Amino acid sequence: VTQARDAPAGAVDPLQRLTKLLARLPGIGDKSAMRLALAILRTDAPYALALAEAIGSIHASVRECSVCCDLSADPVCPRCQDPRRDDTTVCVVAQPQDRIAFDRAAAYRGRYHVLHGVLDPLAGIGPNALRIEALLRRLEPREGGPSPVREVIVATSPNVEGDATALYLARLLLPLGLSVTRIASGVAVGGELEYADTTTLTRALHDRRPL
């Protein structure tokens, strides 16, 4: 860590400290980090404090929904609590931002399940690193009857890892007598779901096919 010329000995320049912290975020290079740090410095102090508080409390205030594993402020998220959603269909996505993309498209009225990743053996990410056990629990019979789930739609991105994850889930779920489908690759091959526009997502969901 280098010191600013006029900083006291041993102290880190505050602007440089903030810049370095911001530069650790994805998609933020050194120049963007410096620009953000300067922008925060130029805002009023209450904003800077509110930003710091929001960042500082995020770990304590956001958890995983005990049903679908999506991020939630409550033990059970609003999507799982919504009685108007269709219980017979579960759409499996890799990340919370993919769920947000589907919700924005508003083409889907069933339930969701968030894996928090995709299978990636080269990166050491196996089935145990994903929320697959929580998914299986949702498919088990419950008191008073069988699970209402009839179809699991695998909506991972159409790339190598997304395809491997879909095949793994199909092998796991088909023997349970469920219909397992995969969204159509209307999303550009190798593309990321979260960046797909709503028309593309709606079509990809509509044109899903059995695995």
Tokens in use for 36? 């953000």
Among 165, 80, 86, 61, which residue's Cα sits nearest to residue 120?
Answer: 165
Can you give the three-state secondary structure of 100-149, one letter per residue?
HHHHHHCCCCEEEEECCCCCEHHHCECHHHCCHHHHHHHHCCECCECCCC
Window contacting Zn ion (CB under 5 A); options: 79-87, 148-156, 163-171, 172-180: 79-87
Please report whether residue 154 would count as binding Zn ion according to CB under 5 A: no
Among 68, 134, 180, 193, binds Zn ion (CB under 5 A): 68
| Contact assessment for residue 172 and residue 137, using Cβ atoms and an 8 Å cutoff | no
Please report whether residue 77 would count as binding Zn ion according to CB under 5 A: yes
Q: Which is nearer to Zn ion, 99 or 182 (CB)?
A: 99
Please report whether residue 114 would count as binding Zn ion according to CB under 5 A: no
Please report whether residue 130 would count as binding Zn ion according to CB under 5 A: no
Minimum Å distance from CB 15 to Zn ion? 41
Please report whether residue 67 would count as binding Zn ion according to CB under 5 A: yes
Minimum Å distance from CB 40 to Zn ion? 33
d(CA 1, CA 197): 42
Tokens in use for 47? 């904003």
Q: Which is nearer to Zn ion, 34 or 131 (CB)?
A: 131
Burial class (CB in 10 A: 0-12, 13-18, 19+), 82: exposed
Q: Which is nearer to Zn ion, 5 or 84 (CB)?
A: 84
DSSP state of 193: G
Among 33, 34, 71, 80, binds Zn ion (CB under 5 A): 80
Minimum Å distance from CB 73 to Zn ion? 11
Query: Can you give the binding site for Zn ion, defined by CB under 5 A?
Result: 65, 67-68, 70, 77, 80
